[in-house]
Amino acid sequence: MKIVAVTACPTGIAHTYMAQEAIEKECKKRGYEYQVETQGGMGIENELEQDVIDTADAVILAIAVEIEGEDRFDEKREANRVLNADPSEVIKDPAKFIDEAEKIVGN
C-alpha cells in the first residue's frame, strides 16, 4: 500500500514534525510505501508531486491549519481516499489512522 500525507500545525514546529515521524514509523513498520510533506516553520518540505498523489492508495491530512495546495487532493477526496486528522491525534495513535487508511482502500 502507498500512503501520502501532509502534516501542518498552527506554529509549524513541533506537532508538524512529530506527526510526520509518527506516520513514517507506522508505515515503515507495516512495510508500506509512504511520503510525508510538511508545511511548517521551514515552509514546505518534501513537497508531494501530483503524480505521487495520483498513484497513492490513501491520503492522510494531519493538519490543524489551512495548507497550500489542498486542491491537489480533490480527486482523492472525491474517491473517499482522504483521511482528515488533527496532528496531535496522529502523534498519539498513528496505528489508528493507518488502520483507517487500510479500511478506505479495502485492504
Q: In CATH, what number is assigned to the domain containing residue 85? A: 3.40.50.2300
The tens digit of pLDDT for each residue in 8-59 reads 998 878 999 999 999 999 999 999 999 999 998 889 999 999 999 999 999 9
Query: Rounded to an integer, what distance in angstroms lies between the CA atom of residue 37 and that of residue 97?
Result: 16
Active-site annotation, residues? 9
pLDDT at 107: 56
Its domain, for residue 15, covers 2-106
Beta bridge partners of 84: 61
Query: In the predicted model, what is the mean pLDDT of the chain?
Result: 96
pLDDT on residue 55: 97
Question: What's the rounded mean pLDDT across residues 64-92?
Answer: 96
What's the whole-number mean pLDDT along residues 77-96? 97
Task: Write down the residue that cell numbers 508500506 correspond to.
Answer: 32
Number of domains the chain is built from = 1
